């Protein structure tokens, strides 16, 4: 019984149940199901934003409100068609999300959520104070939707539209997450530097995600307005936003299905409480808020994975084995860069200086790297190797000096642009996404070679490119000898192997220059030999490699030339045998004899 079959069965069962529900259920249940569908759309956006992207919004209800009011105003005051209202609603929510995102997403973690609280409050207050929007009484007599000549005024008829859109929304998210932009979204929590190293801009990715989540809320708002045919400010305040967030957390932030489960859970519970509490007390409304807040806090204390987290644990216990994937038919490979001629200059560092306040970490270092060679950067601890590494990958700005890569001055360029020029790197502290499969981690490396965006990915128009990416990723995995473990999770690999996996990710970018930060650390002897063979093979293919390494034995056997650093300055440069014999190097490593 494969996990995949299991899941398909579940989906078929849920869809079938939803399809026949209106025929069996009473009016009340159908209305509840409609509310659940609308809640699920909003929660779906939040699952993607918070659970997968690691940012959050306390203003999601405000987006629902903007869309609802937009379509309400357009269809009542202007008398236009609700379908134009849909466009208008999505446009307004998208633009407002774009504006807020641009203001806050460059800043650290808590600025976005705090601003969205203020935003959520402001929007609800605006709704209540603008004459054209009916102030606190709201707008009524919103027309029902019409499809052809068919009116969707009845809850049972709009039911199919709502759930059809919920289905499409889920499909869109599902496709999106398994695509080029989706891999970038799933890597957001790995940090901006990881994304920049594959040529992606974390800010742009986060902004796109935020707008996408807002558009889900916008769609829900449009449905809400034409289902209830009445809008007023109160369902769009911060309290409602918290309720949407509660849905996402209760269902399970890590899973798309969590949105649906959570929406159902919260709304059914709410209905239950509304039935039960009045029997116990006269202050039912207040107790309901208290109960929900308590539930929310308890969830975050004891079950942060939500209901789907439990389900996942259970299914994992039962179906651990991954389904073997069928071999893909070969497709045309991704286009390759033409590598520079052997011996031509690839990277030249001239007079690099980096100061941290009074400390000079790198002092006037110059060296050249030529195409097709392996060059080693070594030195005792604290010699400034890592800082040098950060300078030439443009992870860190230089105080003075010049770095030329393929004839272009790259000092001061953002890291992602340097990555796009063909400089790929690995990290000393491994930056992999532990919850993504090996092949997805490697495929992320090909980000800068491909172009599909969110819309294309969500609508599955990116499939031919996606096949090319996966084929390339598989090729690189085969190359490092992990081809048959492509669908395991990266977090399950031992640390040494994770370093090798980072090399595969770097190779997927089709680099001119590969910059490796201590790739042999944590490897066993045999693995080191395999790594050495791989690097030599790459050199034969014309890839240039710069390697920072502590393992002398490994480096000496591998490199063409060595640059030795000590106390921030370049000590010696030369072939391994000369460096080994150099007295200054011996003194730096072992202490002076004198």
Partner 1 sequence: MTWDVALILGIDGLANGAVYLLAGLGLVLIFSVTRVVFVPFGDIAAFAALTLAAFETGRLPATIGMVVVLTVLAVLTEVGSLVRRGETARIPKAVLGWGLLPLVPCVLAWLASRPGVPAPVHVAVAVLLVVPIAPLLSRVVFQPIADASVLVLLIVSLALHFLLSGLGLLFFGPEGSRTQPLASGSITLGDGFAVSGQVILMVSAAIVLSGLFFLVFERTVTGKALRATAVNRVGARLVGIRPARTALFAYGCASLLAGLIGVLIAPVTTMYYDSGFIIGLKAFVAAIIGGLVSYPMTAIGALAVGVVESFASFWSGALKDVIVFSLLIPVLMLRSFLMTHVDEEEEEVDQ
Binding site for partner 1 (CB under 8 A): 50-51, 54-56, 58, 103-104, 106-111, 113-115, 117-119, 121-122, 125-126, 128-129, 188-193, 239, 242, 245-246, 249, 252-254, 283, 286-287, 289-290, 292-294, 296-297, 300-301, 304-306, 309
Q: Which is nearer to partner 1, 254 or 532 (CB)?
A: 254
Strand, helix or coil for residue 139: strand
CB of 443 closer than 8 Å to CB of 198: no
Q: Which is nearer to partner 1, 237 or 465 (CB)?
A: 237
Distances (CA, A) of 247 to 44, 268, 313, 502, 569: 9, 11, 20, 36, 57
Instruction: Tell me the closest approach of the beta carbon of residue 436 to partner 1, in angstroms.
Output: 13
Instruction: Tell me the closest approach of the beta carbon of residue 430 to partner 1, in angstroms.
Output: 15
Dmax (CA) for the chain in angstroms is 99
Instruction: Tell me the closest approach of the beta carbon of residue 283 to partner 1, in angstroms.
Output: 6
Where on the phi/psi map is residue 351: left (φ > 0), alpha (ψ -120 to 50), or beta? left
User: What size, in residues, is the chain?
Assistant: 594
Instruction: Tell me the closest approach of the beta carbon of residue 254 to partner 1, in angstroms.
Output: 4
Q: Which is nearer to partner 1, 16 or 103 (CB)?
A: 103
**Residues 261, 412: Cα–Cα separation, whole Å:** 48
Nearest-5° angle of CA 295, CA 237, CA 27? 75
Q: Which is nearer to partner 1, 32 or 249 (CB)?
A: 249
**Residues 129, 127: Cα–Cα separation, whole Å:** 6
CB of 321 closer than 8 Å to CB of 270: no
Nearest-5° angle of CA 54, CA 57, CA 63? 135
Q: Which is nearer to partner 1, 64 or 90 (CB)?
A: 64
Instruction: Tell me the closest approach of the beta carbon of residue 409 to partner 1, in angstroms.
Output: 21
Instruction: Tell me the closest approach of the beta carbon of residue 121 to partner 1, in angstroms.
Output: 7
Instruction: Tell me the closest approach of the beta carbon of residue 182 to partner 1, in angstroms.
Output: 17
| Interacting residues of 78 by C-beta distance below 8 A, sequence separation 6+ | none
**Residues 253, 293: Cα–Cα separation, whole Å:** 18
Q: Which is nearer to partner 1, 75 or 437 (CB)?
A: 437
Instruction: Tell me the closest approach of the beta carbon of residue 309 to partner 1, in angstroms.
Output: 7
Residue with tokens 């460059």: 106
Q: Which is nearer to partner 1, 117 or 521 (CB)?
A: 117
- The number of beta carbons lying within 10 Å of the beta carbon of residue 316 is 10
Q: Which is nearer to partner 1, 50 or 437 (CB)?
A: 50
Strand locations in 132-247, DSSP E?
A: 139-140, 146-147, 150-151, 230-231
């Amino acid at each position: 019984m494969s996990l995949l079959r299991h899941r398909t069965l579940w989906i078929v069962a849920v869809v079938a149940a939803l399809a026949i529900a209106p025929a069996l259920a009473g009016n009340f249940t159908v209305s509840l199901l409609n509310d659940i569908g609308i809640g699920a759309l909003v929660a779906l956006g939040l699952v993607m934003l918070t659970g997968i992207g690691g940012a959050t919004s306390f203003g999601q209800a405000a987006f629902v409100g903007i869309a609802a009011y937009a379509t309400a105003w357009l269809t009542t005051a202007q008398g236009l068609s609700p379908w134009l209202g849909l466009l208008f609603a999505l446009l307004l929510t998208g633009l407002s999300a774009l504006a807020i995102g641009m203001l806050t997403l460059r800043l650290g973690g808590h600025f976005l959520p705090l601003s969205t609280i203020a935003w959520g409050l402001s929007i609800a207050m605006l709704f209540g104070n603008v004459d054209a929007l009916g102030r606190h009484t709201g707008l009524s007599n919103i027309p029902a939707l019409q499809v052809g000549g068919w009116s969707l005024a009845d809850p049972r008829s709009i039911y199919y539209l709502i759930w059809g859109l919920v289905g499409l929304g889920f499909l869109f998210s599902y496709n999106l997450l398994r695509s080029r932009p989706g891999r970038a979204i799933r890597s957001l929590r790995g940090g901006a530097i990881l994304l920049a190293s594959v040529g992606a801009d974390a800010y742009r990715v986060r902004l796109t995600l935020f707008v996408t989540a807002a558009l889900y809320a916008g769609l829900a708002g449009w449905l809400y307005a034409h289902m209830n045919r009445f809008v007023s400010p109160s369902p769009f305040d911060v309290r409602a936003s918290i309720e949407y967030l509660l849905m996402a957390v209760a269902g399970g932030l890590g899973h798309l299905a969590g949105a649906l489960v959570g929406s159902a859970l919260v709304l059914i519970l709410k209905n239950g409480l509304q039935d039960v509490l009045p029997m116990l007390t006269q202050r039912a409304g207040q107790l309901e808020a208290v109960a929900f807040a308590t539930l929310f806090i308890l969830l975050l204390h004891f079950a942060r994975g939500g209901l789907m987290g439990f389900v996942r644990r259970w299914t994992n216990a039962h179906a651990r084995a991954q389904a073997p994937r069928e071999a893909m038919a070969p497709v045309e490979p991704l286009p390759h860069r033409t590598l520079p001629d052997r011996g031509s200059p690839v990277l030249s560092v001239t007079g690099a200086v980096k100061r941290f306040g009074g400390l000079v970490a790198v002092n006037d270092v110059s060296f050249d790297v030529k195409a097709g060679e392996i060059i080693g950067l070594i030195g005792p601890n604290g010699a400034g190797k890592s800082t040098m590494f950060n300078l030439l990958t443009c992870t860190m700005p230089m105080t003075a000096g010049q770095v030329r890569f393929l004839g272009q001055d790259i000092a001061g360029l953002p890291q992602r642009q340097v990555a796009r020029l063909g400089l790929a790197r690995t990290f000393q502290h491994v930056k992999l996404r532990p919850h993504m499969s090996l092949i997805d981690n490697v495929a992320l490396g090909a980000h800068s070679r491909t172009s599909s965006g969110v819309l294309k990915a969500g609508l599955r128009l990116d499939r031919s490119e996606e096949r090319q990416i996966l084929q390339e990723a598989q090729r690189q995995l085969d190359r490092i000898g992990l081809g048959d473990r492509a669908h395991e999770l990266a977090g399950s690999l031992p640390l040494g192997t994770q370093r090798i996996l980072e090399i595969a990710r770097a190779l997927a970018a089709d680099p001119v220059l590969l910059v490796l930060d201590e790739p042999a650390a944590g490897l066993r002897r045999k693995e080191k030999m395999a790594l050495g063979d791989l690097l030599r093979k790459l050199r034969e293919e014309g890839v240039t490699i710069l390697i920072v390494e502590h393992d002398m034995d490994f480096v000496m056997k591998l490199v063409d030339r060595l640059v030795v650093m000590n106390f921030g300055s370049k000590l010696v440069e030369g072939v391994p045998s000369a460096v080994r014999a150099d007295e200054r190097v011996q003194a730096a490593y072992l202490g002076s004899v004198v």
